[in-house]
Amino acid sequence: MERTFAIIKPDAVKNGVTGQILARIEQQGFRIVAMRLQHLSRSDAAGFYHVHREKPFFGGLTDFMSSAPCVLLCLEAPDAIRAWRALMGATNPANAEPGTMRKDFGASIDNNATHGSDAPETAAFELSYFFRGMELA
Ligand code: CMP
Protein backbone atom coordinates (compact mmCIF):
# COMPACT_ATOMS: atom_id res chain seq x y z
CA MET A 1 0.00 0.00 0.00
CA GLU A 2 1.06 3.55 -0.73
CA ARG A 3 -0.32 6.95 0.28
CA THR A 4 -0.55 10.15 -1.69
CA PHE A 5 -1.74 13.68 -1.11
CA ALA A 6 -4.59 15.11 -3.18
CA ILE A 7 -6.45 18.41 -3.40
CA ILE A 8 -9.87 19.09 -4.84
CA LYS A 9 -9.10 22.66 -5.87
CA PRO A 10 -11.25 25.78 -5.33
CA ASP A 11 -12.69 25.71 -8.87
CA ALA A 12 -14.06 22.17 -8.42
CA VAL A 13 -15.44 22.91 -4.94
CA LYS A 14 -17.12 26.11 -6.20
CA ASN A 15 -18.55 24.23 -9.20
CA GLY A 16 -20.20 21.71 -6.86
CA VAL A 17 -18.38 18.62 -8.16
CA THR A 18 -16.67 17.60 -4.90
CA GLY A 19 -19.08 14.69 -4.44
CA GLN A 20 -18.56 13.43 -7.98
CA ILE A 21 -14.78 13.55 -7.57
CA LEU A 22 -14.92 11.74 -4.22
CA ALA A 23 -17.21 9.07 -5.73
CA ARG A 24 -14.71 8.45 -8.54
CA ILE A 25 -11.87 8.26 -6.03
CA GLU A 26 -13.71 5.56 -4.08
CA GLN A 27 -14.90 3.72 -7.21
CA GLN A 28 -11.25 3.49 -8.33
CA GLY A 29 -10.36 1.70 -5.10
CA PHE A 30 -8.67 4.42 -3.07
CA ARG A 31 -9.27 4.50 0.67
CA ILE A 32 -9.80 8.02 2.04
CA VAL A 33 -7.46 8.08 5.04
CA ALA A 34 -7.94 11.77 5.92
CA MET A 35 -10.01 14.61 4.49
CA ARG A 36 -10.60 18.28 5.38
CA LEU A 37 -12.34 21.28 3.80
CA GLN A 38 -10.04 24.28 4.25
CA HIS A 39 -9.83 27.81 2.91
CA LEU A 40 -6.06 28.25 2.49
CA SER A 41 -4.38 31.58 3.16
CA ARG A 42 -2.03 32.93 0.51
CA SER A 43 0.92 31.98 2.70
CA ASP A 44 -0.47 28.44 3.21
CA ALA A 45 -0.55 28.10 -0.57
CA ALA A 46 2.89 29.69 -1.04
CA GLY A 47 4.48 27.28 1.45
CA PHE A 48 2.79 24.30 -0.13
CA TYR A 49 3.90 25.25 -3.67
CA HIS A 50 7.34 26.54 -2.61
CA VAL A 51 9.08 24.50 -5.36
CA HIS A 52 7.32 26.73 -7.91
CA ARG A 53 8.22 30.06 -6.23
CA GLU A 54 10.45 31.20 -9.12
CA LYS A 55 7.92 30.27 -11.80
CA PRO A 56 5.98 32.99 -13.64
CA PHE A 57 2.66 31.39 -12.66
CA PHE A 58 3.41 31.33 -8.90
CA GLY A 59 1.47 34.52 -8.03
CA GLY A 60 -1.59 33.44 -9.96
CA LEU A 61 -1.37 29.95 -8.49
CA THR A 62 -1.28 31.16 -4.88
CA ASP A 63 -4.08 33.69 -5.57
CA PHE A 64 -6.25 30.95 -7.03
CA MET A 65 -5.52 28.37 -4.35
CA SER A 66 -6.45 30.88 -1.63
CA SER A 67 -9.55 32.19 -3.44
CA ALA A 68 -12.06 29.73 -1.91
CA PRO A 69 -12.10 26.52 0.15
CA CYS A 70 -10.54 23.35 -1.19
CA VAL A 71 -10.64 19.71 -0.02
CA LEU A 72 -7.39 18.20 1.28
CA LEU A 73 -7.05 14.42 1.13
CA CYS A 74 -4.78 11.55 2.03
CA LEU A 75 -5.51 8.65 -0.35
CA GLU A 76 -4.30 5.08 0.04
CA ALA A 77 -4.08 2.35 -2.60
CA PRO A 78 -1.49 0.10 -4.20
CA ASP A 79 0.72 2.42 -6.31
CA ALA A 80 -1.40 5.36 -5.10
CA ILE A 81 0.86 8.17 -6.39
CA ARG A 82 0.89 6.93 -9.96
CA ALA A 83 -2.74 5.78 -9.86
CA TRP A 84 -4.05 9.15 -8.65
CA ARG A 85 -2.00 11.04 -11.26
CA ALA A 86 -3.43 8.76 -13.96
CA LEU A 87 -6.97 9.39 -12.73
CA MET A 88 -6.34 13.18 -12.68
CA GLY A 89 -4.96 13.31 -16.24
CA ALA A 90 -2.55 15.85 -17.75
CA THR A 91 -1.92 19.13 -15.88
CA ASN A 92 -3.52 21.08 -18.73
CA PRO A 93 -7.13 19.87 -19.17
CA ALA A 94 -6.78 20.51 -22.91
CA ASN A 95 -4.26 17.65 -23.04
CA ALA A 96 -6.05 15.30 -20.61
CA GLU A 97 -7.77 12.08 -21.67
CA PRO A 98 -11.57 11.81 -21.52
CA GLY A 99 -12.71 10.33 -18.22
CA THR A 100 -9.94 12.00 -16.23
CA MET A 101 -10.65 14.54 -13.50
CA ARG A 102 -8.97 17.40 -15.28
CA LYS A 103 -10.67 16.73 -18.63
CA ASP A 104 -14.09 16.33 -17.04
CA PHE A 105 -13.92 19.01 -14.33
CA GLY A 106 -11.01 21.37 -15.19
CA ALA A 107 -11.29 24.48 -17.37
CA SER A 108 -7.65 25.54 -17.87
CA ILE A 109 -4.10 24.85 -16.68
CA ASP A 110 -4.76 27.25 -13.77
CA ASN A 111 -8.26 26.02 -12.96
CA ASN A 112 -7.49 22.30 -13.30
CA ALA A 113 -9.72 20.85 -10.55
CA THR A 114 -7.25 18.62 -8.73
CA HIS A 115 -3.70 18.26 -7.48
CA GLY A 116 -1.67 15.14 -6.70
CA SER A 117 1.82 14.45 -5.40
CA ASP A 118 4.33 13.51 -8.11
CA ALA A 119 6.77 11.31 -6.14
CA PRO A 120 7.14 9.57 -2.76
CA GLU A 121 9.27 12.40 -1.31
CA THR A 122 6.72 14.99 -2.46
CA ALA A 123 3.86 12.95 -1.02
CA ALA A 124 5.65 12.76 2.34
CA PHE A 125 6.19 16.55 2.42
CA GLU A 126 2.68 17.40 1.21
CA LEU A 127 0.92 15.02 3.63
CA SER A 128 2.90 16.32 6.57
CA TYR A 129 2.32 19.94 5.48
CA PHE A 130 -1.44 19.60 5.93
CA PHE A 131 -2.07 16.63 8.26
CA ARG A 132 -0.87 15.79 11.74
CA GLY A 133 0.44 12.30 12.49
CA MET A 134 -2.66 11.29 14.43
CA GLU A 135 -4.89 12.18 11.47
CA LEU A 136 -2.93 9.73 9.30
CA ALA A 137 -2.82 6.89 11.82
P1 CMP B 1 -0.63 21.33 -9.72
O2 CMP B 1 -0.53 19.88 -10.02
O3 CMP B 1 -1.44 21.73 -8.56
O4 CMP B 1 0.85 21.91 -9.54
C5 CMP B 1 1.17 23.27 -9.77
C6 CMP B 1 0.08 23.98 -10.50
O7 CMP B 1 0.46 25.16 -11.18
C8 CMP B 1 -0.47 23.09 -11.59
O9 CMP B 1 -1.22 22.05 -11.03
C10 CMP B 1 -1.25 24.10 -12.44
O11 CMP B 1 -2.58 24.26 -11.99
C12 CMP B 1 -0.51 25.41 -12.19
N13 CMP B 1 0.16 25.91 -13.39
C14 CMP B 1 -0.10 27.08 -14.00
N15 CMP B 1 0.70 27.23 -15.07
C16 CMP B 1 1.48 26.13 -15.14
C17 CMP B 1 2.50 25.70 -16.05
N18 CMP B 1 2.89 26.43 -17.09
N19 CMP B 1 3.08 24.49 -15.81
C20 CMP B 1 2.72 23.74 -14.75
N21 CMP B 1 1.75 24.10 -13.87
C22 CMP B 1 1.14 25.29 -14.06
What range defines the domain where residue 94 resides?
2-136
CA distance linking residue 63 with residue 81, whole number of Å: 26
CATH number of 113's domain: 3.30.70.141
Cα of 111 to ligand 1 centre, how many Å?
9
For the chain, the domain total comes to 1
- Nearest 5°: the CA angle 55, 58, 63 is 170
Cα distances (Å, whole numbers) of residue 111 to 61, 62, 78, 102, 104: 9, 12, 28, 9, 12
Q: Pocket around ligand 1: residues whose beta carbon is below 6 Å from it?
A: 52, 57, 61, 91, 109-110, 112, 115
Mutate to test the pocket of ligand 1, among 7, 40, 57, 95 (most ligand atoms within 8 A of CB): 57
Cα of 112 to ligand 1 centre, how many Å?
8
Per residue in 4-59, pLDDT (tens digit) is 999 999 999 999 999 999 999 999 999 999 999 999 999 999 999 999 999 999 99
Indicate which atom in ligand 1 lies nearest the CA of residue 49: 5
**Which residue lies with its CA nearest to atom 14 of ligand 1?**
110
CA distance linking residue 22 with residue 104, whole number of Å: 14
CA distance linking residue 9 with residue 11, whole number of Å: 6
pLDDT reported for residue 55: 98
Under 8 Å between Cβ of 52 and 115: no
Per residue in 54-100, pLDDT (tens digit) is 999 999 999 999 999 999 999 999 999 999 999 999 999 999 999 99
Cα of 133 to ligand 1 centre, how many Å?
28
pLDDT reported for residue 29: 98
Q: How high is the mean pLDDT of the chain?
A: 98
Cα distances (Å, whole numbers) of residue 133 to 36, 43, 75: 14, 22, 15
